[in-house]
A = this chain, B = another copy of it.
Amino acid sequence: MVSITIKDVAKKAGVSISTVSRVINGSKPVSSEVRQKVLKVIEETGYRPNPVARSLVMKKSQLIGVVVPDISNFFIGEILSGIEEIGKMYGYDILLCNTYGQLEQELRYLNLLKAKQVEGIVFMTWKLQDKLVDYLEKIDVPIVLINRNTSKLLIPSVSIDNFQAAFEMTNYLIKNGHRRIALIRSSQDQNAFGFDQYKGYKKALEEHGLELDEKLVRYGNFKLEDSYQIVKDFIKENVLPTAIFATSDEMAIGAINCLLDNGYKVPDDVSVVGFNDIKLASIYKPNLTTIHQPIYDIGAVAIRMIVKKINGEEVDSKIVTLPHELIIRESSKKI
């Protein structure tokens, strides 16, 4: 099964390969007579230009790299559909990279993507380490970060206002009578995803004259198991708060499960709220009070920005902040 090339088409149509190239790309005028002939041959032979060869000469690939820390994460899955769909719309294909949030993998993939001549990169991670930032800022490919407010960075990003959202959520909890509010977020690192949320939480506490009890701030890695264990610890240490603010819905669910398993009622004994509003949030029982993010749109906007950059169009702003909304459901209540 030898695939047929532009040369074959040229020969069969009795023209030069440049002419064939021209009718394919419409790069230069071709007499409609010749064009018809060539088109006919292409049709007959089923010729398809070889994208690899094309990439080599054009240094373009119609490929966009997407690197994420966990494909099977619900939140990320939803973002991916936005990316894929809009990308497709513009003729770009997705090279998927799963890093498990490991710096080493992230660096490796970034290199690989560049080598593969991807035209843009959508990047997402839990922890934005300095070394990574250096690398990202230097890379000469359009890149956009997801879910980061990188005001201090040079890299464009699309995200909601995590600070404000966490602030609102904490406020809501406080206004509903909660005083001891735990925060489950990811790593302590300043660069870790969720630092803004931590600041929002802190600010709300401060505004109400509540003291921040660092014992109530715990760290999980966006996994159910992690928050499950954290709540277990709370119980064991006998310091269970009246409200738990988990910075991802998955972690909220893990927390609720632990509570339920230990005979506590949600929200009667403890209110638990999440973040993201993944599909599951409104399905799980009890439905999650959470911060709604336009998840699909985040992916869609990110890739749209990349496409614009690729086409040399001016991108309105480096940092796109999408709207969020506090959604109150069953998992929290006034005390």
Q: Are A1 and B140 in contact (CB under 8 A)?
A: yes
Number of copies of chain A assembled together? 2
> In whole Å, how far is A32's beta carbon from the nearest beta carbon of chain B?
27
Question: Which B residues lie within 8 Å of A284 (CB)?
Answer: 283-285
Q: Are B80 and A72 in contact (CB under 8 A)?
A: yes
Given contacts A52-B56, A72-B81, A115-B50, A96 and B94 within 8 Å (CB-CB): yes
Confirm or deny: A36 has a beta carbon within 8 angstroms of a beta carbon on chain B: no
Confirm or deny: A37 has a beta carbon within 8 angstroms of a beta carbon on chain B: no
> In whole Å, how far is A54's beta carbon from the nearest beta carbon of chain B?
9
Question: Which B residues lie within 8 Å of A115 (CB)?
Answer: 48-51
> In whole Å, how far is A92's beta carbon from the nearest beta carbon of chain B?
11
Confirm or deny: A239 has a beta carbon within 8 angstroms of a beta carbon on chain B: no
Confirm or deny: A325 has a beta carbon within 8 angstroms of a beta carbon on chain B: no
Question: Which B residues lie within 8 Å of A260 (CB)?
Answer: 285
Which B residue's beta carbon lies closest to that of A66? B96
> Complex: how many Å from CA A78 to CA B75?
13
> Complex: how many Å from CA A97 to CA B96?
10
> Complex: how many Å from CA A218 to CA B70?
34
Q: Are A94 and B93 in contact (CB under 8 A)?
A: no
Given contacts A71-B80, A74-B74, A253 and B51 within 8 Å (CB-CB): no
In the complex, besides A50-B117, A77-B77, 5 extra interface pairs with C-beta distance below 8 angstroms are A50-B56, A51-B117, A52-B55, A74-B77, A84-B98
